Structure 1
Amino acid sequence: MKLVMTLMVRDEADIVEAMVDHHLAQGVDLLIVTDNGSIDGTTDILQRYADAGVIDLRHNPHHNKRQGEAVTRMARDAATLHGADWVINADTDEFWVPVDRSLTLKQAFENIPTDLGSFVVPVIDMTGAPAASGTGFERLIYRDQRSVDHLLTIGLHAHATPDSVHVGDPNVEVSQGNHFVNIESQGEPDPAFAIEVLHFPWRSFDQFYRKVDNSGRAYAESGLVPSPNHHGMRDYRRLQDGTLVSFYIARHPSAEQIEQGLADGTLTVDRTIADLGLPAIPDVALPEGAIEVGRAAAVSLVQKLDHIASLETELRETRAAAEADKARLESDLDTLLHTGAHKMNALEDELRERDEHIRALENQYHELHGRRVVRAADWVGQAARNVRGTIRRR
């Protein structure tokens, strides 16, 4: 069984070496990697693995947010060039592991039948204390299972979307973000061989700022128009208005929140990655006092944004009601106009019929009148003749 992973990466030097080492140790046979114009040393790191023959390294310097197209090409090449039985399309901040940690990925996939076609893999966001820089494996050891309602209070809309894994197929299509493929799933793996993803999206403010800036600029240059609620575009707007650091801090729980989360089960410790001893950049703390200030600012901003969102919702509903009233009035007017026109046409028809009837009566009158005049003249003439005849006889 051959297991191939695809990866599109840009400026992830703080984690890419650990990510590649982890998956090679987990039995991934080959990584097909597209470097998207990195400038932070990521390219040099990847080249070392390419020289060792464990990475098929490609280069795409265009920052046009065409990840789906690039990953689709790599996923197809995994089947046609490298004979993959299973293909994992991953992001650099993802660490794929079996739920049963005594297994490797290779062992799990060896026990998953390829006739499943594809299946969904849950993605678990890892959280912990914030930092100015550093990979953060020792900080980010908590599985984040906080409710969506809680996430909304810190400026997040949801947890990470699940990923899709699929069999090698030369005609596969992978969506933007690696969350969906066109190969229909025929079921789920046996729970004994289930897979999950440990996700490290916000490792430090330095990394987060760079990621948001790169993504926002790429969208601007691409001509694509993502939803205003797209997480990357929301964060890019925060970067532009100077509030990004507050939202970065707010999405990491405080010491008190961690204690409460551990007590109520919304946070659970998972040291799977922390205990592997993977390459990592040492952490640098945020300036003293910045965390408290950032949290308070984010709470205030979220409340203001919630108020604005509420007003926007009210405005949308008012506009929708006004549009509905307008449509109803226009419909009523059309009905009245149609009914009025129909009645007008009926009256005009009735008037025409009456006019025709009057003309017929007039014609009849004139005809009868003419006949009476003729008959009267004939009668007078006959009377005159009778009188003259009587006179002559006398």
Structure 2
Amino acid sequence: MKLAMTIMVRDEADIIAAMLDHHEAQGVDTFIVTDNGSVDGTTEILERYAAEGRIDLRHDPVHRKQQAPVVTQMARDAYTRYGADWVINADADEFFLPVDRTKTLHEVFEQIPKTYLSFLVPVVNLTGAPAKDGTGFDRLVYRDARTQDQLELAGVRAHPTPDAVHIGSPDIDVIQGNHFVSLASQGSPPPELAIEVLHLPWRSWKQYKNKVEISGRAYESNPELTPSPNHHGMRDYARLKAGALLPYYFMRHPTPEELEQGAVDGTLVRDDVLADALTAPVPDADFDKATRKAQLAFSEALRYDRVQRAKRIASGFEDRLEAAAEREADLAARLALVEGEAAALRSRRVVRATDRLARLVRRR
């Protein structure tokens, strides 16, 4: 069984080496990587891996959010050039793992029937404290299972969309974001062979600011594309251009009090699997005390504003429900009155008809 992985990457020098090392240790046989015009040192890292024969490195410097056709070609090549039985299309900040940590990816895929054709793999965000710079393996160690209401208060629209993996195919199509493929799923692995993705989307302020900017510009240059419904980038891009993104970055991370409560209610559970196995390519660097204090205060004010707005919306909704109920009761009363009048009218008509029939009988 041959397992291949495709990656399209741009400016991920803080994590790409660790990501490749992780999946190599997990038994991925072939890596096809396309560098999308990186300028932060990612290209040089990938060139070293290519020189060692560890990856098939390609270059595509165009910045028009052309991920779908590029990944599709890599996925097809995984089969036609390398004979891949299974193909994983991943992002640089995604770490695929068996849920059963005693197994490797390769061992799991060996047991998954190819008759499934494709299946979805759930993606779990890892979160923790914010930082000015750094990969964050030792800091982002909490599985984010917050409720939808809690996510909204943190400025996050939803949990990430699952990723699709598929069998090797010469005519596979991979849809924007790696979330869907053209091979319809015919089954999913049983619990003992389950796979998940640990995702580190907001590793540091430096990384996230750059990610928002390059993603926003790419979408602007290709208006034919529409971001995923769970995509936060375009809203954050507007905030970046307005000079208001940093407090939203802070707001996205749970406070110490929230981490403590999350450990109790199961919405923020510690998971050190990456921290124990990997060395962070870029060490963490914190904000200065004044900046951290100011931004935390700002983000708390934003959260408070969201709470108040939610209360106003809820209150308005309740008022509308009450008004609707009153209108419904009024309509029901009017309907009952009309039905009563209609019944009386029918009764009078019956009486009149009976009287006429009686008169006719008497005449005969």
Q: Same fold (TM over 0.5)?
A: yes
Aligned-partner SS, 1:72: helix
1:345 paired residue number: none
Distance in 2 separating the partners of 1:305 and 1:261: 20
Give the CA deviation at 1:241: 1.3
In the TM superposition, 1:351-366 aligns within 5 A as none
In the TM superposition, 1:317-332 aligns within 5 A as none
* 1:13–1:42 CA contact under 8 A, matched in 2: yes
The residue identity in structure 1 corresponding to 2:6 is T
Distance in 1 separating the partners of 2:147 and 2:188: 25
Aligned-partner SS, 2:143: strand
The gaps in structure 2 that reach 5 residues or longer are: 317-364
1:350-379 Cα offsets, whole Å, 9 max, x none, are xxxxxxxxxxxxxxxxxxxxxxxxxxxxxx
* 2:97–2:104 CA contact under 8 A, matched in 1: yes
Aligned-partner SS, 1:139: coil
TM-score, with normalisation over the residues of structure 2?
A: 0.82
1:319-341 Cα offsets, whole Å, 9 max, x none, are xxxxxxxxxxxxxxxxxxxxxxx
User: Is 2:49 the counterpart of 1:31?
Assistant: no
Aligned-partner SS, 2:149: helix
* 1:17–1:279 CA contact under 8 A, matched in 2: no
Distance in 2 separating the partners of 1:161 and 1:228: 9
1:148 paired residue number: 148
Q: 1:228 and 1:109, CA in 2 relative to 1: closer, same or farther beyond 3 A?
A: closer
Give the CA deviation at 1:296: 3.3
Distance in 1 separating the partners of 2:154 and 2:224: 27
1:91-121 Cα offsets, whole Å, 9 max, x none, are 0000000000011110010111111100110
Give the CA deviation at 1:242: 1.5
Q: 1:98 and 1:296, CA in 2 relative to 1: closer, same or farther beyond 3 A?
A: same
User: Is 2:170 the counterpart of 1:178?
Assistant: no
* 2:99–2:193 CA contact under 8 A, matched in 1: yes
Which of 1 and 2 has greater Rg? 1
Q: 1:5 and 1:225, CA in 2 relative to 1: closer, same or farther beyond 3 A?
A: closer
1:33-57 Cα offsets, whole Å, 9 max, x none, are 0000001110111111111112111
Distance in 1 separating the partners of 2:161 and 2:193: 21
Q: 1:112 and 1:250, CA in 2 relative to 1: closer, same or farther beyond 3 A?
A: same
Distance in 2 separating the partners of 1:173 and 1:164: 11
User: Is 2:52 the counterpart of 1:43?
Assistant: no
1:338 paired residue number: none
Aligned-partner SS, 2:289: coil
Give the CA deviation at 1:208: 0.3
Distance in 2 separating the partners of 1:162 and 1:228: 12
1:239 paired residue number: 240
Give the CA deviation at 1:207: 0.4
Give the CA deviation at 1:295: 3.3
User: Is 2:125 the counterpart of 1:125?
Assistant: yes
* 2:86–2:168 CA contact under 8 A, matched in 1: yes
Larger displacement relative to structure 2 (17-26 or 255-264): 255-264
2:222 paired residue number: 222
Distance in 2 separating the partners of 1:157 and 1:249: 15
Aligned-partner SS, 1:37: coil
* 2:136–2:280 CA contact under 8 A, matched in 1: no
Q: 1:256 and 1:304, CA in 2 relative to 1: closer, same or farther beyond 3 A?
A: closer
Aligned-partner SS, 1:273: helix
Q: 1:38 and 1:287, CA in 2 relative to 1: closer, same or farther beyond 3 A?
A: same
* 2:251–2:303 CA contact under 8 A, matched in 1: no
1:250 paired residue number: 251
Distance in 1 separating the partners of 2:195 and 2:228: 32
The residue identity in structure 2 corresponding to 1:130 is P
Give the CA deviation at 1:190: 2.0
1:352 paired residue number: none
User: Is 2:19 the counterpart of 1:19?
Assistant: yes
Give the CA deviation at 1:10: 0.2
1:215-268 Cα offsets, whole Å, 9 max, x none, are 011111223353696411011011111221111111111111111111111111
1:261 paired residue number: 262
Measured on the aligned residues, the alpha-carbon RMSD in Å equals 2.1
The residue identity in structure 2 corresponding to 1:45 is I
TM-score, with normalisation over the residues of structure 1?
A: 0.76
* 2:127–2:200 CA contact under 8 A, matched in 1: yes
Give the CA deviation at 1:293: 2.7
